[in-house]
Amino acid sequence: MTKHRARKRFGQHFLTDPGVIDAIIRAVHPTGDDVVVEIGPGQGAITDALARNAGHLHAVELDRDLAARLRRQYGDHPNVTVHEGDALQFDFAALGEKLRIVGNLPYNISTPLLFHLLKSRDHILDMHFMLQKEVVARMAASPGSKAYGRLGIMLGCHLQVESLFDVDPGAFSPPPDVTSAVVRLDPLPPGTFEIADEPGLSTLVATAFMQRRKTLRNALKKLVEPGDLEAVGIDGGARPEQVSIADYIRLSNHLWRKSR
Ligand code: SAH
Q: Render pLDDT for 42-62 as a digit per residue (tens, 0 to 9).
A: 999 999 999 999 999 999 999
198-259: CATH topology is Helicase, Ruva Protein; domain 3 (1.10.8)
pLDDT digits (tens, 9 = 90+) for 111-138: 999 999 999 999 999 999 999 999 999 9
Residue minimizing CA distance to atom 17 of ligand 1? 40
H helix and E strand count, the chain? 10, 9
What count of Cα atoms within 13 Å lies in the side-chain half-sphere of residue 174? Answer: 10
Give the C-alpha separation, 89 to 104, whole Å: 18
Percent share of the chain, pLDDT over 70:
99
Kindly indicate the confidence band of residue 106, based on its pLDDT and cuts at 50, 70 and 90: confident
88 touches ligand 1 (CB under 6 Å): yes
Residue 152: CB within 6 Å of ligand 1?
no
Nearest to 34 by CA among 84, 96, 88, 121: 96
Residue with the smallest CA separation from ligand 1 atom 11 is: 40
The protein residue with its alpha carbon nearest to ligand 1, atom 19, reads: 10
Q: For residue 85, what are the contacts with CB-CB under 8 A and spacing of at least 6?
A: 60, 61, 62
Residue nearest to atom 8 of ligand 1 (CA): 14
What CATH topology corresponds to 8-187?
Answer: Rossmann fold (3.40.50)
Q: Ligand 1 centroid vs 43 CA: distance in angstroms?
A: 9
| Ligand 1 center to 105 CA (angstroms) | 6
Q: Classify residue 124 as exposed, middle or buried by CB count within 10 Å of its CB (0-12, 13-18, 19+).
A: buried
User: What pTM, to 2 d.p., does this model score?
Assistant: 0.95
pLDDT tens profile 207-246: 999 988 899 999 999 999 989 999 999 999 999 999 999 9
pLDDT digits (tens, 9 = 90+) for 63-75: 999 999 999 999 9
Closest ligand 1 atom, CA of 14?
8
Q: Which of 46, 104, 128 best tests ligand 1's pocket when mutated (most atoms within 8 Å of CB)?
A: 104
Section 78-91 average pLDDT: 97
Arithmetic mean of pLDDT, 78-99: 97
Ligand 1 in reach of 104 Cβ (< 6 A): yes
What residues pair up with 35 in beta bridges, in sequence order? Answer: 56, 99
Q: Is the pLDDT of residue 11 over 90?
A: no
Annotated domain spans of the chain: 8-187, 198-259
pLDDT at 1 over 80: no
- Return the residue whose CA atom lies nearest to atom 20 of ligand 1: 62
169 three-state secondary structure: helix
Ligand 1 near 13 CB (within 6 A):
yes
12 lines ligand 1 (CB under 6 A): yes
Please tell me whether the peptide bond between 199 and the residue prior to it is cis, using omega within 30 degrees of 0. Answer: no
